[in-house]
Amino acid sequence: MDFSRDFIALACRKGVLRFGAFVTKAGRNSPYFFNAGLFDDGESFRELCGFYARSIRASGVACDMLFGPAYKGIPLVAGAAIRLAEDGVNLPFAFNRKEAKDHGEGGTLIGAPLAGRVLILDDVISAGTSVRESVDIIRAAGASPAGVVIALDRMERGKGTLSAVQEVAETFGIPVIAVATLEDLISFLADSPELAANLDAVKAYRETYGIASTR
C-alpha cells in the first residue's frame, strides 16, 4: 500500500521511528524503536489518524463501531472516527477507563454503547494484553470483536513460532490490520539514501527474530 510508505516517512520525520541500538521489553537488541506517543501535535496526529482511517477502509473489514483501549487507544479512536467521518463514513466510538467511576455516569466505558461488530484501535501489539482485555469488554457487552488496527506490525516471534500479531489473530479469530509492517519498513529503507545505512541491521534483526512473510 502506498500509504504505508507515507506513514513510515511521517514516523521518521517526527522521530516516532528511530534507528540505533535499543533494548525491547523482551530484552532483544533492536536496531529501531517505534513510539507512537511521539505523534504529539495536531498536524502529525491528524495525519496518523488519517492513515488509520485509510487502513480501515482499504481492509474491507465490516464493522459497526470503533473501540479504543485505555490509554493510547483513546485519542486514536476519536481521531480515526473524525477522519472516517470526513470521508463520509460515520461510525460510533467508545473507549474505556482503567478505573471505574463511582459518580456521574459511572462505570468504565465512555462513548457509544458497544454493539454489533466492534473494531479495536491500538498503537502496537506487544504481548496482546490490551487486545485480550478489549475483547473481554466487547463480548461482555454482547457485541463481537471485528478486528484490530495497529500502526506498526514488527513481525517478531513471540515465545513460540508466531508473532504477537499472529497469536492475537489466531486466538480470537479476527484480522489484525497494520498501517505498516516490518516488510514495508525494509522496503522504505532500501529506497531511502539518507536511511539506507540502517538497512542491513534491520534485515539482520528480522533474520534472527522475524516471522515468515504475512502477505
What is the distance between the alpha carbons of residues 7 and 25, in angstroms, rounded to a whole number?
24
Three-class secondary structure of residue 210 per DSSP:
strand
Name the residue among 88, 144, 97, 142 with its Cα closest to residue 119. 144
14 assigned to active site:
no
Residues in the chain: 215
**Number of helices (H), then strands (E), in the chain:** 7, 8
Question: How far is the C-alpha of 165 from the C-alpha of 157, rounded, in Å?
Answer: 9
163-197 burial code (b ≥16 CB/10 A, e <16)? bbbbbbbeebebebbbbbbbbbbbbbbeebeebee
Q: Which of 14, 25, 72, 103 is catalytic?
A: 103
State the catalytic residue, choosing from 72, 101, 159, 203.
Answer: 101
Is 98 an annotated catalytic residue?
no
Which one, of 138, 137, 214, lies nearest residue 170 by Cα? 214
Torsional sign, CA 172, 173, 174, 176:
positive
**Catalytic residue positions, numbered:** 101, 103
